[in-house]
Chains A and B, each alone.
Chain A
Amino acid sequence: MKARNIKIMLMVVVLVVGLVSSVMAVEPKYGGVLTVADDKIQPSLDPQHNMGFGGFELYLAFNTLINYNENLEFVPELAISWEIPNNTTYIFHLREGVTFHDGTEFDAEAVKWNMERMLSEYSQVSSYFKEVNKVEIVDKYTVKFTLKEPYAPFLDSLASNGYMVSPTAVKEMGDEGFQKHPVGTGPFAFVKLDKQNGKLIFEKNKNYWNEGKPYLDKIVLIEIPEDQTRLFALQTGQANFLMGVPASSVKHLKKSSKYNVVSVLSKSNTIDYLTFNCNKEPFNDQDVRLAIAYALDNQKIINFLDQTEAIPGPLPEGSWGHNPALKDVSYDPEKAKELLAQAGYPNGFDVTLKIWSNDPQRSNLAVVVKDMLFKVGIKVNIEVLEASALIQQMTKGEFEFVSLHWGGGGSLDPNGNLHVLFNSKGQLSWIANYNNEEVDEYLEAALKTTDRAKRQELYWNAEKIIVQEHPMIWFGRFVSYLAHDPKVHGIEPLRPSGYFPIYENVWIGN
Chain B
Amino acid sequence: MRRYVLKRILQLIPTLLGVTIITFFLIRLTPGDPATAILGLEATPEKIAYINKIYGLDKPMPIQYLIWMGKVCHFDLGTSIAYSEQILGILLNKIPVSFQLAVVSMLISLGISIPTGIISAVKKDTIFDNMGRLFAFLGISIPGFWLGILLLYVFAVKLHVLPLFGYVSLFDNFSEGLKHLLLPSITLGMVLAATVTRMTRSCMLEVLYENYITTARAKGLKERVVIMKHALRNAMIPVLTVVGLQMGYILGGSVLIEVVFALPGLGRLVVDSIFQRDYPVVQAAVLFYALIFVLINLLVDLLYSFLDPRISYE
Which residues of A does B touch, CB under 8 Å? 43-44, 51-53, 121, 124, 127, 176, 179, 195-198, 222-226, 228-229, 232-233, 235-236, 238, 385-389, 391-393, 395, 404, 406, 409-410, 427-428, 431
Whether A197 contacts B164 in the complex (CB less than 8 A), given A395-B36, A428-B41, comes out as no
Given contacts A53-B42, A223-B262, A229-B152, contact A388 B37 (CB under 8 A): yes
Q: What CA separation (Å) do A241 and B46 show in the bound complex?
A: 38
**A388-B32, A392-B33 given; A51·B262 CB < 8 A:** no
Q: From B37, B41, B259, name the one whose CB has the most chain A CB atoms within 10 angstroms.
A: B41
Q: Bound complex: CA of A263 vs CA of B166, how far in Å?
A: 28
13 A-B residue pairs with Cβ-Cβ distance under 8 Å, sorted by A, are: A43-B83, A52-B39, A52-B42, A195-B85, A196-B93, A197-B166, A223-B262, A226-B262, A228-B149, A229-B164, A388-B32, A391-B36, A392-B31
Q: Is the CB of B40 within 8 A of A232?
A: no
Residue contact B165 to A229, C-beta cutoff 8 Å:
yes
**Is the beta-carbon distance between B165 and A388 smaller than 8 angstroms?**
no
Q: By the criterion CB–CB under 8 Å, are B36 and A238 in contact? A: no
B36 touches A392 (CB 8 A): yes
The distance from the CB of B188 to the nearest CB of chain A, in whole angstroms, is 15
Would you call B39 and A232 a contact (CB within 8 A)?
no
Contact yes or no, B37 A224, CB < 8 A: no
Is B71 part of the contact surface with A, judged by Cβ < 8 Å?
A: no
A225-B262, A232-B152, A387-B275 are known; give 7 further A-B pairs, CB within 8 A. A179-B84, A223-B262, A229-B260, A232-B157, A233-B164, A392-B31, A393-B31
Are A51 and B157 in contact (CB-based, < 8 A)?
A: no
Q: Give min CB distance, B34 to chain A, whole Å.
A: 8
**B59 near A: Cβ within 8 Å?**
no
In this complex, what residue of A is CB-closest to B40? A52
**CB-contact partner of B42 in A388, A389, A410, under 8 A:** A410
- Contact residues in A for B157 (Cβ distance below 8 Å): 232, 235-236
Which of the residues B33, B38, B164, B165 comes within 8 Å of A52, measured between beta carbons? Answer: B38
Least CB distance, B260 to chain A, in whole angstroms? 5
Q: How far is the CA of A431 from the CA of B41 in the complex (A)?
A: 9
A196-B264, A223-B262, A233-B164 as given contacts; A387 in contact with B84, CB under 8 Å: no
The verdict on B44 contacting chain A, using a C-beta distance below 8 Å, is yes
Given A196-B93, A391-B43, A428-B44: A232 touches B164 (CB 8 Å cut-off) = yes
A127 touches B44 (CB 8 A): yes
Q: Are A406 and B41 in contact (CB under 8 A)?
A: yes
**Which residues in B have their C-beta under 8 angstroms from that of A222?**
165
Query: How long is the Cα–Cα vector from A44 to B37 in the complex, in angstroms?
Result: 15
How close is B66's CB to chain A, nearest CB, in angstroms? 26
A-side contacts of B156, CB under 8 Å: 232, 236
Residue in B30, B42, B259 whose Cβ sees the most chain A Cβ within 10 Å: B42
CA distance A388 to B37 in the complex (A): 5
- The 8 closest A-B CB pairs, nearest first, are A388-B32, A389-B31, A388-B37, A389-B32, A391-B36, A224-B262, A226-B260, A51-B38
Q: Is the CB of B259 within 8 A of A226?
A: yes
Give Cα distance in the complex from A233 to B44, angstroms: 38
- Do the beta carbons of A229 and B33 come within 8 Å of each other? no
The answer to whether B137 has its CB under 8 Å from any CB of chain A is no
In the docked arrangement, what's the CA distance between A198 and B97, Å? 14
User: Does B293 reach chain A (CB closer than 8 Å)?
Assistant: no
Question: How distant is A177 from chain B, measured CB to nearest CB, in Å?
Answer: 10
Tell me whether A44 and B84 are in contact (CB under 8 A): yes
User: Contacts of A236 on B, CB cut-off 8 Å?
Assistant: 156-157, 160, 164
Residue of B37, B153, B166, B259 near A232 (CB, 8 A) is B153
Interface hub of A179, A392, A393 (most chain B Cβ within 10 A): A392
B165–A233 touching, CB < 8 Å: yes
Q: Which residues of B have CB within 8 Å of A389?
A: 30-32
Residues of chain B touching chain A, judged by Cβ–Cβ distance below 8 Å, are: 30-33, 36-44, 46-47, 50, 82-85, 93-94, 145, 149, 152-153, 156-157, 160, 164-167, 259-262, 264, 268, 275, 277
Name the residue among B31, B149, B259, B264 with the largest chain A CB count within 10 angstroms: B31
Specify which chain A residues have a CB less than 8 angstroms from the CB of B94 in the assembled complex: 196
Contacts of B30 in A (CB 8 A): 389
Residues of B within 8 A of A385 (CB): 31
B16 nearest CB across to chain A (Å): 27
A273 to chain B minimum Cβ distance, whole angstroms, is 12
Q: How far is the CA of A229 from the CA of B166 in the complex (A)?
A: 11
Q: Are B262 and A386 in contact (CB under 8 A)?
A: no
Chain B contacts for A388, CB-based, 8 A:
31-33, 36-37, 275, 277
State A388–B39 Cα separation when bound (angstroms): 9
Task: Kindly list chain A residues whose C-beta atoms are within 8 Å of the C-beta of B164.
Answer: 229, 232-233, 236, 238
Collect the chain B residues with CB atoms within 8 Å of residue A229's CB: 149, 152, 164-165, 260-262
Bound CA span A60–B186, Å: 39
Closest beta carbon of chain B to A19's beta carbon, Å: 41
Check A386/B149 contact, CB under 8 A, given A124-B47, A409-B42.
Answer: no
The answer to whether A197 and B167 have CB atoms under 8 Å apart is yes
Chain A, residue nearest B260 (CB): A226
For A198, the chain B residues whose CB sits under 8 A away are 166, 262, 264
Assess the B40–A53 pair: CB atoms within 8 A: yes
Cα distance A103–B50 in the bound complex, in angstroms: 33
Select one of B40, B93, B166, B264 contacting A387, CB under 8 A: B40
User: Bound state CA distance, A431 and B40, in angstroms?
Assistant: 12
Residues of chain B lying within 8 A (CB to CB) of residue A233: 164-165
Give the complex CA separation of A197 and B37 in angstroms: 24
Q: Which residue of B lies closest to A179 (CB)?
A: B84
Collect the chain B residues with CB atoms within 8 Å of residue A391's CB: 32, 36, 40-41, 43
Asked if A43 and B82 sit within 8 Å, CB to CB, the answer is yes
What separation, in Å, do the CA atoms of A51 and B36 have in the docked complex? Answer: 10
Q: Which of chain B's residues have a CB closer than 8 A to the CB of A228? A: 149, 152, 260
Contacts of B167 in A (CB 8 A): 197
User: Which interface residue of A43, A44, A388, A431 has the most chain B CB atoms within 10 A?
Assistant: A388
- Contact, CB under 8 Å: A121 / B50: yes
Cα distance A229–B260 in the bound complex, in angstroms? 6
A404: B residues at CB distance < 8 A: 41
Determine the chain A residues whose CB is within 8 A of the CB of B153 once the complex forms. Answer: 232
B43 near A395 with CB under 8 A, answer: yes
Query: Which B-chain residue is minimally distant from A357 (CB atoms)?
Result: B275
Distance from B280 Cβ to chain A, minimum over Cβ atoms (Å): 14
Shortest C-beta distance, B82 to chain A (Å), equals 5
Given A127-B44, A229-B149: A197 in contact with B264 (beta carbons within 8 A): yes
Q: What residues on B are CB-neighbors of A197 within 8 Å?
A: 166-167, 264
Determine how close the nearest CB of chain A comes to the CB of B76; give it in whole angstroms: 16
Closest Cβ neighbor of B278 among chain A residues? A43
What is the minimal beta-carbon distance from B37 to any residue of chain A, in angstroms?
4
Report chain B residues within 8 Å CB of A51. Answer: 38-39, 82
A225 touches B259 (CB 8 A): yes
Alpha-carbon gap, A200 to B43, bound state (A): 28
- With CB as the reference atom, state the residue of chain A lying closest to B149: A228
Residue of B nearest to A427 (CB): B44
- The CA of A229 and the CA of B149, in the complex, are separated in Å by 7
With both chains docked as a complex, state the minimum distance between the C-beta of B171 and any C-beta of chain A, in angstroms.
14
B166 contacts across to A, CB distance below 8 A: 197-198
Which residues of B have CB within 8 Å of A179?
Answer: 84
Identity of the chain B residue whose Cβ is nearest the Cβ of A175 in the assembled complex: B84
Give the shortest distance, in Å, between A149 (CB) and chain B (any CB). 19
Give A113 to B153 CA distance when docked, in angstroms: 51
Query: Could you tell me if B275 and A386 are in contact, using CB atoms closer than 8 angstroms?
Result: yes
